[in-house]
Amino acid sequence: MLILAETLAYDMILYIGLTLLVGLFFGRVFEHFNIPNLTGYIVVGLGIGALVLVTDQESLIDAFQIVTAIAIGFIAFSIGLELDFSKIKNRRKEVVIITLTQAMMAFAVTALGMWLFNIPLHIGLVLGSIAIATEPGPILLITKKFKTRGPLTDTLVPLHGVEDMIAILIFGLAVAFAVSVESASAIQPEMLGSPFLELLFSFALGIAIGFIFRQIIRITSYDDPDKDTIVMVTALVAVLISVAVANRGIYINDFHVHLSPILLPMVVGITFANTSTYKAKHEIEHTVDLIESPLMIAFFAVIGAEIVILVAEQLLVMEWFNLVLYTAAYVGFRVLGKLVGAWFGAKLAHSDPLIQKYLGLCLLPQAQAAIGLAFIAQGLLSFTPYGNLILVIVLVATVVYELFAPIGLRYALVRCNEADDKVCSILDQQHHQPFFHFKKVA
C-alpha cells in the first residue's frame, strides 16, 4: 500500500502535477469552444482554490507563491526579449504617447469614478493607480500561440515596459498621499522617494544581470556539444536570479528598497536582446518557450486558486452589497478608461486605424501585478478599513478580467489580421471536429 507523505512539500508537488494535467485538458476543452485556453486554466484554478478551502489546506497557496514568482519572471523576461530597439525605433514616440495617454486616462477615470461611488478621493487615487497595470501574461501567451505579427502586436509589446514604470510611480505617490490623509500626518520623504529608487535599482540590476548573461552565451562555442544545455541553464539561472533579487529587494543599511518583479527581469531580457546576435537571441527565445509552457498553465491556475482563498478570507469582514457595487464600479471605470485612453492616445499619435479601434481591448487583462500593488496598499493602510477593501475589490475584479479579457484580446488580434493564417486554420478545423474521438478496436 502506497502512503503519501503528509508534508507540505509533497502535497505541493502533487497539486502542481494535477494542476498541469487538468489545466492542459481544460485549456483544450475551452479552445474547442473558441475560448482562449488560459481562461480554462483560470477556471481550473478557481476549482483548486475551492478544493483547498474545503480540505483546509490554505497553507498550500503560500507555498505556490514560488511558482507564480518564477512564472512572472519568465513572462517579463520574454517580453523584454521582444523589445528590440532597432525594430521599434520609428515607433518610440507613438508608443510613449499611447502609453502615457491610456495610463493617465485609466487612472483619472477610475479614481473619479470611485469617488462618485462614495469612496474617499485619496483611496480612489490608489485604486486608479492600480487600474493602470495590465497583465502581460495573457498578451504573451496569445500572441505567441497565434504567432501574431503587425502594427498592433508591435505596439502592445513595448507598451508594457513604459506602463509598468508609470504604474509604480503613480501608485507610490498615491499610496503615500492616502497614508498621510488617513494618519493625519505629513507625507514622509522616504515614501515619495521609494518608487524612484525601485525603478532606478530595477534598471541597474537588470542591465548588470543581462550583460553577465550575454557574456556567458557569447563565450560559448556554437560547436560545443553541450551548447544547448549551457544556453538553457544560463537562461534559467538569469531569470531565477532576477526573480530572487526582485522579490527579496535590497537593504541599504536599515532602509529596504523594493524592486519590481516585472521590470527587473524585463530589463534583463531587453539588455540581452539589444546586445546579442540574432542567432543567440533566437536560441534563447526557443529555450524560454520550452520552459514557459508548463509554467503558464501553473501560473494562471495558481492565480485562480489564490483569488478564491484570499477573497474567502476577506469576505468574512465585508458586506456583500458594497463589495459587489464597488467591484462593478472599479471594473466598469477601468474598462472605460483603458478603451477611451487607448483610442485617444492612438489618435494623438496618428496610429494605424486598426490600432485606434482595437488596442483598448488588448489592455484589459489584469492579474498578478495589480494584486501585488493591492497587497502593498493593504499593508500600508492596515490601520484603516480601506486596506482590506482595496485588496478585495482588486481580487474580485481580477476574476472578471482573467475570465473575459483574453476573449477580447484574441478577438482584437484576429480582427486586425495579425494572427498567423496557418494557426487559425488548424484551430478552425479543431472547432468543427468532435472533442472526444472513439476509435473502433480491430
CA distance 164 to 213: 23
Name, in order, each residue with C-beta under 8 angstroms of 85's C-beta and a sequence gap of 6 or more. 274
* Grid cell digits, residue 304: 485562480
Q: Which residue has the cell 496557418?
A: 422
Q: C-alpha cell of 371? A: 494584486
Contact predicate 73/368, CB 8 Å: no
CA 20/CA 31 separation, integer angstroms: 16
- The sign of the dihedral angle between the CA atoms of 79, 80, 86, 91 is positive
Q: Give me Rg for the CA atoms of the chain.
A: 22
Domains of the chain: 70-291+314-364+379-431 (1.20.1530.20)
Residue 195 in grid coordinates? 518608487
What is the model's pLDDT at position 331? 94
The C-alpha atoms of residue 238 and residue 155 are separated, in whole angstroms, by 26
What is the chain's pLDDT, residue by residue, as a tens digit (442 residues)? 444 445 666 777 777 788 888 888 888 888 777 777 777 888 888 888 888 777 776 666 666 778 888 888 888 888 888 777 776 677 778 888 999 999 999 999 999 999 999 899 999 999 999 999 888 878 877 887 778 888 888 888 777 767 878 888 898 888 888 888 888 766 666 666 677 888 888 889 999 999 988 888 888 766 667 777 788 888 888 889 998 998 888 887 777 777 888 888 888 988 888 888 777 777 788 788 777 778 888 887 877 777 777 777 666 555 677 788 899 999 999 999 999 999 999 999 988 888 888 898 888 988 777 888 888 888 888 778 888 888 888 888 888 888 888 888 888 888 888 776 665 555 555 555 554 444 444 4
Of 167, 219, 147, the closest CA to residue 425 belongs to: 147
Q: Which three cell numbers stand for residue 183?
A: 494618519
Query: Which pLDDT score is estimated for 81?
Result: 83
| Chain CA centroid to CA 131, Å | 13
| Stated length of the chain | 442
Task: Give pLDDT, residue 429.
Answer: 53
CA distance 41 to 56: 22
Tell me, what's the pLDDT at 424?
Answer: 58
3-state per-residue secondary structure call for the chain: CCCCCCCHHHHHHHHHHHHHHHHHHHHHHHHHCCCCHHHHHHHHHHHHHHHHHHCCCCHHHHHCHHHHHHHHHHHHHHHHHHCCHHHHCCCHHHHHHHHHHHHHHHHHHHHHHHHHCCCCHHHHHHHHHHHCCCCHHHHHHHHHHCCCCCHHHHHHHHHHHHHHHHHHHHHHHHHHHHHHHHHCCCCCHHHHHHHHHHHHHHHHHHHHHHHHHHHHHHCCCCCCCCHHHHHHHHHHHHHHHHHHHHHHCEEECCEEECCCCCHHHHHHHHHHHHHCCHHHHHHHHHHHHHHHHHHHHHHHHHHHHHHHHHHHHHHCCCCHHHHHHHHHHHHHHHHHHHHHHHHHHHHHCCCCHHHHHHHHHHCCCCCHHHHHHHHHHHHHCCCCCHHHHHHHHHHHHHHHHHHHHHHHHHHHHHHCCCCCHHHHHHHHHHHCCCCCCCCCCC
Q: Are 317 and 388 in contact (CB under 8 A)?
A: yes
Give pTM, 2 decimals.
0.80
HSE-CB for 287 with a 13 A CA cutoff: 22
